[in-house]
Structure 1
Amino acid sequence: MAIDHKLCKDNFYIPEFLQNNTCTNTTREIQQKLESVNKALEEHLEKFNRERERLLKSKTVTLENIKKFRKEINDRLDELEKNTISDTEDKYKTFINEKEDSIRILERSKACLKSAQDKLKLASDNKLQIFVNVKKGENIAENVAKSVKATKLQTPFKDIDFAGDRRLDSLLHEINVFGKIEQRIAMKTENIGTVNIHKNDFLLQVKGCTKYSVNVQSDKKYCDIISACTLEDGTIILSDWSNSKLKRLDSSSYAVIDYCDLQGRPWQVCSIDKQQAAVCLHDKKEVQFISLSSKMALTNKIKTGFECFGLSYADGNLYISDYTSVYIYSVSGRKLKKFSKDQSGQEMFSSIRSLAVSENGSKICVADRYKGLIILDNNGIVVGRFNDSQLRGADGSCLTGRGSLLVCADFSDNVLQFGPNGNLIDEVVKFYDTSAFNKAICCNQQMSKMIIGRNRDEIEVYDLI
């Protein structure tokens, strides 16, 4: 039937085929091919098994981090409760002390009155003694009346009520989870080493530049804009080192609409949330928090014990650096991690100028004045480096929101753009005015503007295309 089944074109008679085709695959060749494919399949299966095991371990770590975050919230709530109780105790103590002082005065007056009354009763027929007691009684009565009148002025009596901060209640009702749960592509460990140069990613381009003054009347020196960041409402905060100020700019006119005097020299500034920002005061060895109400105001602070320069906020934690180390802190001020040496035990940094951290905290980008760009994962493992003549004197850095990183450099007078994995895309802009150092960089939320701060009274705003 197979021989006569002519409708199927691929049917053939095997003895005839073998007679006409001597070059056919042997059993050994097919066996080798099957073994090769089977080996590739087993390797692929093993790879997926390892990935499953890695995910299971990662799940355990992630769940532990959630519990750790919950504990930090509990610790912070305990601290808030302690502070609130302490404030309440202090206020009640003041009011109670006032009342106790008044009671003591009234009780002494009561004793004086009783004494005067008793003396008048005991005087009997002694006119001379009666006269003296009457005069004393009149004085006592007059003084007691004055004491009563003085205490009456203290009424109505004061009391204290507690009104909880409704922002906490509002926030708890607005959110359904502790934070963002996002899927990300894990960076492969084989990418460790010098970052390769690629130019196939989308390059930001500039088409124009406008300068805006950021000087305010109370400035005593020329501005030295050392850092810049964008807030959630679109406004921009500048860190003015020479005048020890934070300056808030309007998002469209770039005019200074508010400023805040600091108690030390500021370095990098970053946004925490809608209500709060933070700035490094390197000479004070602390991170200062700033309330972002209609008027910026200093709130609490974290004492670091080291000169702090780089500062970023991501995934609920603060990333702080001195010259040679990167630290991870909780917002309550507890030190969680420290990174200073690479996998081989060598010092990673020499003069850190700024930090830029991805939103989920998985990637820490470090701009080092002499060692260029170093990229770490959240465990402090180096996953990328770039140290080339194109990036000399790395200073300010910022993530664009599109996954790329911008780094401005003092000595090479330019801004370079790096891709998501730390690969150099290209030069965004070259500065030809070398009389000023390029220190601060940020972009607006629409990625239509790039703001550059320098050691002068004006910023440069570039249009991006």
Structure 2
Amino acid sequence: MYCKNHDDVGCGTCIAIDHRLCKDIFYIPKFLQNNTCTTTIREIQQKLDSVAKALKEQQENFKLERERLLKSKTATLESIKKFRKEINGRLDELETNTISDIEDKYKTFINEMEESIRILERSKVSLKSARDKLKLASGNKLQNFVNVKKGENIAENAAKSIKVNQLQTPFKDVDFTGDHRLASLLHEINVFGKIEQRIVMKTENIGTVNIHKNDSLLQVKGSTKYVVKVQSDNMRCDIVSACTLEDGTIILSDYNNSKLKRLHSSSYTVIDYCDLQWRPWQVCSIDKQQAAVCLRDKKEVQFISLSSKMALTNKIKIGFACYGLSYADGNLYISGDTSVYIYSVSGRKLKQFSKDQSGQNLFSDTCSLAVSEDGSKIYVDDFKNGVIILDNNGAVVGRFNDSQLRGAYDCCLTGRGSLLVCGNFSDNVLQFGLNGNLIGEVVKFDDTSASHQAICCNQQISKMIIGRDCDDNVEVYDLI
């Protein structure tokens, strides 16, 4: 039987079941008497051959992709082992340094003890000699008088030596306590680093994919204010920094009230906050489990656990007033007034950038920074010198210092090939390409009663969050 509606053939039973609602059902011998088959066996053969070829090619592509994945897996696992060896090497180095320090301290103490023993031994010999001479006393009154007086002097000097050693040489020892930051870090992390999936796009498929234009200017279509003051705040809010976390919530750095405040991803209400020991500056996300913030005048970076309730964990001392803070490629990027530093999360200084290629000072008054995900570019907001872009070796690869941007204060990377910078004095937000080329002005603020300073975007780049100086609200702008 033949179903013309579905262009399908089958036995009478199958047609009766599968095509019972179809109208054009024919008995094939009768159908062929009245109709000429337009498709030849040769054409169908060619079509089958073509599809078979395509299937074979696709199968080969998948086999090649499987081989590539296996090689990639091997390379990735090797990189993990290499990373582990680097950690082991660093731990061996720390062990060697620690043992060397302890050896030096014990050596000093033991040398002191040995010197005291030698002094006492000399006194002991002198005492024995004096005692022996007194035992051999003769009838010579002159000699006896000399021996007695010498014995008195030797006894007195020995007693003084004992007293001096008792007063000046208290017993010493060395205690070792492991650095709690190492144990804390190992306890907090579950894997060696960030594991992410990525799409490997073949060259021939790029043309069919909708690629976001990096140079398209973001625009705003309205804004709403949300209160971020909490009951325990003693002063008006001063939001100096903001960042988006992996779960979509937003962290604000409130300088005046020494707090970090966590906002809901859509209602922008404060759902959590934590008190800091000092006034904070720039805050950044480390991963879904923790964030970090600069405590400027405390000269340290504080880590915060991002559990259901934010909590302070470990911290690292850096020895300078810190403003900018970002995390990328496993390291912390920190700025002081006139320098940018790269630190390990354990607190070891890796690099410092202060001068340009000609030996001139790079910065004068840094406020914040942002870093590309792979750490290849560092975007620094300098309040006096605009935006300065460095590569990972500290070479200047881009600058913007123009009257359109006055008082560069805070910045954020959109994740779509552009950088947003908030101008504190120019009361605007400018959008730049990743090489520092100006794309345009996203918004010019009408209300200048308080300085606009903190900026971040939500994950969809559909909202832009702005924090202000001495203002209990944040402004959330709709982006188009």
Question: Scaled by the length of structure 2, what TM-score is found?
Answer: 0.59
| Alignment partner, residue 370 of structure 1 | 384
Tell me by how many angstroms 1:421 deviates.
Answer: 1.3
| Alignment partner, residue 379 of structure 1 | 393
Distance in 2 of aligned mates of 1:452 and 1:261: 22
Q: CA RMSD in A?
A: 2.9
Tell me by how many angstroms 1:67 deviates.
Answer: 4.7
Q: 1:298 aligns with which of 312, 315, 320?
A: 312
Distance in 1 of aligned mates of 2:286 and 2:330: 9
Which residue identity does 1:398 align to in structure 2? C
Contact kept in structure 2, 1:277 and 1:289, CA below 8 Å = yes
| Alignment partner, residue 446 of structure 1 | 460
| Alignment partner, residue 411 of structure 2 | 397
- Name the SS of the counterpart of 2:218 in structure 1: coil
Which residue identity does 1:447 align to in structure 2? I
Distance in 2 of aligned mates of 1:264 and 1:382: 33
Q: 2:324 aligns with which of 302, 305, 310?
A: 310
Q: Does 1:339 align with 2:326?
A: no
Distance in 2 of aligned mates of 1:182 and 1:332: 32
Q: Does 1:425 align with 2:439?
A: yes
Distance in 1 of aligned mates of 2:227 and 2:261: 12
| Alignment partner, residue 245 of structure 1 | 259
| Alignment partner, residue 10 of structure 2 | none
Q: Does 1:260 align with 2:274?
A: yes
- Name the SS of the counterpart of 1:71 in structure 2: helix
Q: Does 1:231 align with 2:245?
A: yes
Distance in 2 of aligned mates of 1:359 and 1:340: 22
| Alignment partner, residue 285 of structure 1 | 299
Which residue identity does 1:334 align to in structure 2? R
Tell me by how many angstroms 1:167 deviates.
Answer: 7.2
Could you list the per-position Cα deviations for residues 229-257 of structure 1 after superposition, in whole angstroms to 9, with x for gaps in the alignment? 00000000000000000000000100000
Could you list the per-position Cα deviations for residues 38-89 of structure 1 after superposition, in whole angstroms to 9, with x for gaps in the alignment? xxxxxxxxxxxxxxxxxxxxxxxxx99995685247757999xxxxxxxxxx
Of all paired residues, the percent bearing the same amino acid is 73
Alignment CA distance shift 1:282-1:167 (3 Å)? closer
Contact kept in structure 1, 2:214 and 2:416, CA below 8 Å = no
Q: Does 1:357 align with 2:371?
A: yes
Q: 2:421 aligns with which of 403, 407, 415?
A: 407
Contact kept in structure 1, 2:420 and 2:431, CA below 8 Å = yes
Q: 1:274 aligns with which of 288, 293, 297?
A: 288
Distance in 1 of aligned mates of 2:440 and 2:302: 35
Which residue identity does 2:378 align to in structure 1? I
| Alignment partner, residue 474 of structure 2 | 459
Distance in 2 of aligned mates of 1:76 and 1:218: 43
| Alignment partner, residue 214 of structure 1 | 228
- Name the SS of the counterpart of 2:86 in structure 1: helix
Alignment CA distance shift 1:260-1:74 (3 Å)? farther
Which residue identity does 2:473 align to in structure 1? E
- Name the SS of the counterpart of 1:440 in structure 2: strand
Which residue identity does 1:260 align to in structure 2? C
Distance in 2 of aligned mates of 1:458 and 1:75: 46
- Please show how residues 176-191 of structure 1 align to structure 2 within 5 Å: none
Distance in 2 of aligned mates of 1:272 and 1:77: 27
| Alignment partner, residue 142 of structure 2 | none
The structure that has the greater radius of gyration is: 2
Tell me by how many angstroms 1:385 deviates.
Answer: 0.3
Q: 1:71 aligns with which of 69, 86, 92?
A: 86
| Alignment partner, residue 323 of structure 1 | 337
Could you list the per-position Cα deviations for residues 302-361 of structure 1 after superposition, in whole angstroms to 9, with x for gaps in the alignment? 100000000000000000010100000001110000001100000010000000000000
Larger RCO, structure (CA 8 Å, separation 6 or more): 1
Tell me by how many angstroms 1:168 deviates.
Answer: 5.2
Alignment CA distance shift 1:312-1:370 (3 Å)? same
Which residue identity does 2:477 align to in structure 1? Y
Alignment CA distance shift 1:415-1:66 (3 Å)? farther
Q: Gaps (5+ residues) in structure 1?
A: 1-62, 80-164, 184-198
Distance in 2 of aligned mates of 1:73 and 1:356: 31
Could you list the per-position Cα deviations for residues 169-206 of structure 1 after superposition, in whole angstroms to 9, with x for gaps in the alignment? 5x46xx8x9789999xxxxxxxxxxxxxxx99200000
Contact kept in structure 1, 2:214 and 2:433, CA below 8 Å = no
Q: Gaps (5+ residues) in structure 2?
A: 1-77, 95-185, 201-212
Distance in 1 of aligned mates of 2:231 and 2:466: 22
- Name the SS of the counterpart of 1:299 in structure 2: strand
Distance in 2 of aligned mates of 1:352 and 1:236: 23
Distance in 1 of aligned mates of 2:89 and 2:247: 29
Which residue identity does 1:71 align to in structure 2? E
Alignment CA distance shift 1:70-1:332 (3 Å)? farther
Could you list the per-position Cα deviations for residues 99-119 of structure 1 after superposition, in whole angstroms to 9, with x for gaps in the alignment? xxxxxxxxxxxxxxxxxxxxx
Distance in 2 of aligned mates of 1:69 and 1:429: 47
- Name the SS of the counterpart of 1:271 in structure 2: strand
